[in-house]
Amino acid sequence: MKRTLSVVLSMLVLTAFVAALVGCGADIKAENEKLKAENTALKGSVDKMKADMQKLQDEVKKAGEKDATISSLTAENETLKKEVEELKAKMAPKKKK
């Protein structure tokens, strides 16, 4: 009798355990699918941000090159202004004393 009772109780516990797992399975599966969708969305966001970051780095590089060009042209402009002033001074009629 004790053995029969033990088997019956074991079967009840096992049935309750299996029922609990099956009942939670749908919730877990739905949550898993939701997390997979979020993961895919986040990966897409990361890829977009990487592309945006690359564009910004390229723009910064181009801006640096433009600054270097502007600095070079400014220095050249100053040199030319000095040359023009020197030429004007040479071409100006000298005053006789």
Mean pLDDT of 61-79: 97
pLDDT tens, position by position, 23-44 = 667 778 889 999 999 999 999 9
13: Cα separation from own chain's centroid: 52
> In angstroms, rounded to a whole number, what is the distance separating the alpha carbons of residues 71 and 77?
10
Greater confidence (90 vs 97) lies with 90
Phi, psi of 92 (to 5 degrees): -65, 135
What is the C-alpha separation between 38 and 40, in angstroms, rounded? 5
pLDDT at 17 > cutoff 80: no
Q: What is the pLDDT of residue 84?
A: 96
Find the radius of gyration of the CA atoms of the chain.
41
